[in-house]
Amino acid sequence: MTQPALSSAGLAAPRRGMSDLAIRNLFIIPTIVFLIVFNIFPLLYSLGYSFTDYRASMNDPVQFVGLQNYRELLADEYVWANFTLTAKYVIMSVVGQVIVGFGAALLLNRAIPAKGLLTTLLMLPMMMCMAVVGLFWQLLYNPSWGIVNFVFFTEGKVWLSDPEVALLAIAITDIWMWAPFVMLLSLAGLSAIPPSLYEAAAIDRASRWFVFRRITLPLVAPLLLIAIIFRTMEAFKTFDIAFVMASMDETELVAIKLYKMAFHEWQTGRSCALAYIVLLAVLAITNVYVKYLNRLKAR
């Protein structure tokens, strides 16, 4: 008696429902279309513009100029200065975030009271809007009444108008904001380390430094490296904080240069070329990290 019912259900299901292929397409095709329309197409279109003298503010006919934009940009001392400055900023910011973030993760990995609350509070800065953080820190750095000078006993010290320290001041703000991100990933890596390894090391009377160097660091390294990759890419593209906090030559990161070239000066073709140079630089740096990450995983 049950056989016909089963067979009718078995026959009806494929007719009414969607095949696996259809379901897959339903999910994938809109995403691919979205990516093509909003990512791939503009990317290729701007690549085309990078070989022209196109200025979006003018109705002049667009001329193909070959590699001229790239040649001029790579020979421009100001552009190199922007890249050098950006590299300095990336090093200061990422190194600072790793030290502070990883250090905080090591502390939070211990059994301490109100650990959950403390972790949540430490994560608050990265939930804030970057422009607001910039404005907020501008006040903290105020030489007359800012809290930074009060805390460091540097009364009257000018931070954001001093070419020697303005970039460092911005990097400190970035460290404050994004160290929690490194902390979070490091904490995930640290809590995944089996306690048995530490127990074995304790039985062998291994020193704290040995345990850190041979157990903690190698096991947390893949996640830490992922955090570094993300933060390096983001730091390389930093715009908001630096734009809001200072307006010195010594704080003009490459993203700010690109913005000014594209939307103040309307050198559209040239700015597209600069955007591609930045993209290639970010890809090259990321590639180095990814190779290192793969090597770590292979061990």
Partner 1 sequence: MLKLFSRAVAAAALLTFAQLGYAQQKLTILWAEWDPANYLQELVKDYEKQTGIKVVVETTPWSDFQNKAFKEFTAKGSAYDMVVGDSQWLGAGSTGGHYVDLTDFFKKHKVAEIMAPATVKGYAEYPGNSGKYWAVPLEGDANGFAYRKDWFEDPKEMAAFKAKYKYDLAVPKTWKELGDIAEFFHRPAEKRYGLSIYTDNGYDAMVMGVENVIFSYGAELGDFSTYKVQGFINSKESIEALNFYKKLYGYTPPDWGKTFFQEANQAITEGLVSMSMNYFAFFPALANPATNKYAKQTGYFAMPKGPSGKQFAALGGQGLSVVTYSKNKDASMKFLEWFIREDVQKRWAQLGGYTCNTAILKSDEFRKATPFNEAFYQSMFMVKDFWAVPEFAELLTAANKRWHPFIVGGKGTAEEAQNGLAKDWEAIFKKYGRTK
# binding residues, partner 1 (CB under 8 A): 28
CA distance 178 to 181: 5
Q: In the complex, what is the shortest distance from the CB of residue 141 to partner 1, in angstroms, rounded to a whole number?
A: 7
Applying CB under 8 A, which part among 89-97, 116-124, 142-150, 277-285 lies near partner 1?
A: 142-150
Give the shortest CB-176-to-partner 1 separation in angstroms.
19
Calculate the alpha carbon distances from 199 to 5, 87, 103, 203 in Å.
60, 42, 22, 6
For residues 28 and 58, which CB has a smaller minimum distance to partner 1 in the complex? 58
Distance, in Å, from the CA atom of 256 to the CA atom of 89, rounded to the nearest integer, reads 13
Q: Give the other-Cβ count within 10 Å of 276's Cβ.
A: 18
Nearer to partner 1, 167 or 229 (CB): 167
Chain positions 198 to 257 lying near partner 1, rule: CB under 8 A, are 246-250
Position 142 contacts partner 1 (CB under 8 A)? yes
Q: Does 143 sit near partner 1 (CB under 8 A)?
A: yes
Q: How far is CA 298 from CA 110, 152, 229, 287, 294, in A?
A: 29, 45, 18, 16, 6
Give the integer Cα–Cα distance in Å for 203 and 184: 30
The distance of closest approach from Cβ of residue 174 to partner 1 in the complex, given in angstroms and rounded to an integer, is 18
Residue 264 makes contact with partner 1 by CB under 8 A: yes
Alpha-helical regions (H) of the chain: 2-16, 20-35, 41-49, 68-74, 77-108, 115-123, 130-140, 147-151, 166-191, 195-203, 208-211, 217-236, 240-245, 254-259, 268-298
Closest distance to partner 1 from the beta carbon of 165 (Å): 11
C-beta of residue 170 within 8 angstroms of C-beta of residue 242: yes
Stretch that binds partner 1, among 100-108, 111-119, 156-164, 290-298 (CB under 8 A): 156-164
Binding test (CB under 8 A) with partner 1, winner from 136, 230, 266, 292 = 266
- Whose Cβ is closer to partner 1: residue 199's or residue 249's? 249
Q: Work out which of 61, 113, 156, 195 binds partner 1, going by CB under 8 A.
A: 156
| Burial category of 166 from C-beta neighbours within 10 Å (exposed 0-12, middle 13-18, buried 19 and up) | buried
Asked if residues 227 and 182 have their Cβ atoms less than 8 Å apart, the reply is yes
Among 19, 59, 196, 207, binds partner 1 (CB under 8 A): 59
Count of CB atoms situated within 10 Å of the CB of 168: 16
Q: Tell me how far, at minimum, the Cβ of 72 lies from partner 1, in Å.
A: 9
The reply to whether 80 sits near partner 1 by the rule CB under 8 A is no
Query: Quick one: which of 27, 34, 64, 78 contacts partner 1 (CB under 8 A)?
Result: 78
**Interface with partner 1 by CB under 8 A: which residues?**
55-60, 78, 141-144, 156, 158-161, 163, 246-250, 260, 263-267
